[in-house]
Structure 1
Amino acid sequence: MRSAATTSSLLCTSHITGLVLAGGRGTRMGGVDKGLQLLHGKPLVQHVLERLAPQVGTLAINANRSQLEYARFGYPVWHDLEEGFPGPLAGLHSGLVHCTTDFLASTPCDSPLIPYDMVARLATALAEAKADAAVALTDGAHGRQRHPVCSLLRRSTQASLQAFLAAGERKMDHWFATLACVEVEFPDERAFCNINTGLELQRLEEEQ
């Protein structure tokens, strides 16, 4: 059984790198860079960075375009190691390759309401289950939903992910199914909302 000292060490933010995934095409938003779209006068990615920063020891952004704009937030910008916008798993792979901490916490750039305790709760569950990964789960109006992009991974999963991508696989749920993974339920479904379209962005602006 994992000792209290080991669990406490895991929860130390200095052992965790935070990664904001902003490497997509933004297809459903007309091809614009979603992370740079404004919500209440601030880019979506800035909302995410401000919520994630207190939860981790260091931060980075995964982006495949607009690198100069993302670099202005003051964090390293890591692009996918594969060409052609292969999806969020490629962003996670880049994060696992580049990070120097034992753990990588990820969240998408279009989820501006992520919980302030997300990483701590994922870390606690991962340690208690001796798992390789912990993912967020919600059970609300849209039923039970896993949010694998909001996850905490051991850096040691890098080799598994690299082999998965090399085999031509791209689906996040399929890769997480190969890991010792624990689900962590969060009470607020809305905290994990994704802004995929201009209409969704407008609605969130009006609601808050």
Structure 2
Amino acid sequence: MTKSVGIILAGGLATRMGGGDKGLLPLGDGTLLSQVIARLAPQVGALALNANGDPARFSDLGLPVLPDSIDGFAGPLAGVLAGLDWAAAQGATHVVSAAADTPFFPRDLVSRLTQAATDAHAPIALAATLDPDRGPMRQPTFGLWDVALRDDLRSALEGGLRKVVQWTEKHGAAQAVFDPDPFDPFFNVNTPEDLARAQILLETAP
């Protein structure tokens, strides 16, 4: 039986926002991160945050803060690994990852990823959005990851691997494809203009 916990990936450098923690930018009555937490927490048994540096800046969230265990900026897979190690300590079978700058991801993300992995007998399932011209477009920071893969992932990262899809394809990752109507649910905030658009979507989207 699948027992999933969640990891929010907040370890990015946010260079297009001038640096700092994108997740702490204001959105609605809270922050980007508070919107992400509100969506993911009901879908998983427990929740943690992957971030580097002083964890005290996230103390008001009441979540465990997990730093990367791989030296240097190793990208989102390092955050997934931190989540896998934490999930194993929780007795979970899987961890579900979500990006800290993507406040409108589906409220059925975890159930859809779990079903995709089960149907394909796959240890990983990634979210994707359906592009009418190009077909499914993968969202590699949104995935379901089997805890049994953590040592394999650690070895790959220590060997220099950084591209998510390169590793997930090796393990035959399944896909859960989401409809982009009325807008891409995986729209993420990279610029001040994106943040302004997110505020409008928050106020007007159904």
TM-score, normalised with respect to structure 1: 0.89
Given the alignment, which residue of 190, 198, 206 partners 2:192? 198
How far apart are the structure 2 equivalents of 1:37 and 1:182? 33
Q: Which residue of 2 aligns with 1:168?
A: 160
How far apart are the structure 2 equivalents of 1:24 and 1:136? 19
Q: Which residue of 1 aligns with 2:53?
A: 65
Q: Which residue of 1 aligns with 2:84?
A: 96
Q: Which residue of 1 aligns with 2:116?
A: 125
* Mapped contact 1:24–1:64 kept (Cα < 8 A): no
Summarize the alignment of residues 78-89 of structure 1 with structure 2, pairs less than 5 Å apart: 78-89=66-77
Output one character per residue of 1:24-62: Cα deviation in whole Å (capped at 9) or x when no partner: 111111112101111113110110000001100000000
Unmatched tracts of structure 2, length 5 or more: none
How far apart are the structure 1 equivalents of 2:94 and 2:170? 18
How far apart are the structure 2 equivalents of 1:78 and 1:141? 38
Matched, 1:17 2:5: yes
Matched, 1:105 2:80: no
How far apart are the structure 1 equivalents of 2:133 and 2:30? 28
Q: Which residue of 1 aligns with 2:65?
A: 77
How far apart are the structure 1 equivalents of 2:195 and 2:133? 19
* Mapped contact 2:113–2:125 kept (Cα < 8 A): yes
Matched, 1:184 2:172: no
The range that moved more, 108-117 or 194-203, is 194-203
Output one character per residue of 1:154-207: Cα deviation in whole Å (capped at 9) or x when no partner: 101111211110111101111111112101111135211111111111122134
The range that moved more, 58-67 or 148-157, is 58-67
Unmatched tracts of structure 1, length 5 or more: 1-8
* Mapped contact 1:20–1:60 kept (Cα < 8 A): yes
**90 and 128 in structure 1: CA distance in 2 versus 1, 3 angstrom threshold:** same
Q: Which residue of 2 aligns with 1:36?
A: 24
Tell me which amino acid in the other structure corresponds to 1:37. Answer: L
* C-alpha RMSD over aligned residues: 1.5
* Mapped contact 2:94–2:145 kept (Cα < 8 A): yes
Give the C-alpha shift of residue 66 in structure 1: 4.7
Q: Which residue of 1 aligns with 2:130?
A: 139
Matched, 1:27 2:24: no
* Mapped contact 1:135–1:146 kept (Cα < 8 A): yes
